[in-house]
Structure 1
């Protein structure tokens, strides 16, 4: 995190910085936060920090911790599995719609190229790549697929929960075997979409999300 310049949307800036720090693992589950230390870290007053922490509470990213403090919320295996069940349906729908748009020549070429580029950016990362780089590449790939679907409500629905997905993904992507499987599945989904095979694209996307959710829930449950 870095210090922020005073602007009218300062509360939103503080909120975004804290969300990113939690999602990317800079702030770990159970880590205590106070208005004072966050304000000092970001170079702002305590007022925007107080509002931002309330926003994080409503999102389930922090919980009460003692007097005048909060802590980063622990990860919950059951919640993660529930979120992935929603992702399974939405990713399947996104893949189907994207393939249908490609087949009907309705997809914007820039959106297609964006999906290809997102896939390649992750595919070139090797076993030495930092986990956070793999997570960001995975998120970018899914966002590009959601965009190609032509249904903006898919991206809007998932966007709220990316921080929970991102911090839970770290416990799975620390193994090279899973990394290779992840991008192989992304490649299969990409191929089906570009071929305009809506049925296959949906099945692959749903299977990908289902497997990811089950494994992530197990891993998260093991460290709760």
Structure 2
């Protein structure tokens, strides 16, 4: 019995010693919380009468996005433009005409439309952004001379690696298609950059996408000018 009591006493001392050891708080936190991944939501062609609804949807999920806007639309919706510029979201330029023949006519038309768009934004908001997305993406129409013209004028061009195809959908099927692409991008160890559009149907179904991404552990971040751009190869 004395031996048994001695053994129990040693075990008790060891147990108390383990409890007294300092915890690695970062390790405990990592074990308790899922790893957060970044996703970049982007919206083209705005602003519009739908912009406020998009902002409201994003706010409901504490999400930030990047809006690539057209110069005429900023003039038509200056209040929405101001709201975007002074929110948690990022803003960039999408050009003037959104017409392939006009925009991609020459290096000067490519740079000229973006300079006009940037100046419109600055005139309305007082803010200057060098982020741009060219209409329909940079492949196949952005020639090396066009890309160089943008760089000379300080612009930073972004494409995407997830196409929501919201522009061609008549129902919410684009949400599940988007999530399928997100999974593939994640498998390639990349951060998803999702292209969407400032339109009514996208705003209607956006909460479903935000919920699905949040459930997968994604954090919603705006694009910054310090990041390495995602561009088509």
Q: Return the TM-score normalized by structure 2.
A: 0.25
Query: If each structure's strand is expressed as a fraction of its own residues, which one has the higher value?
Result: 2
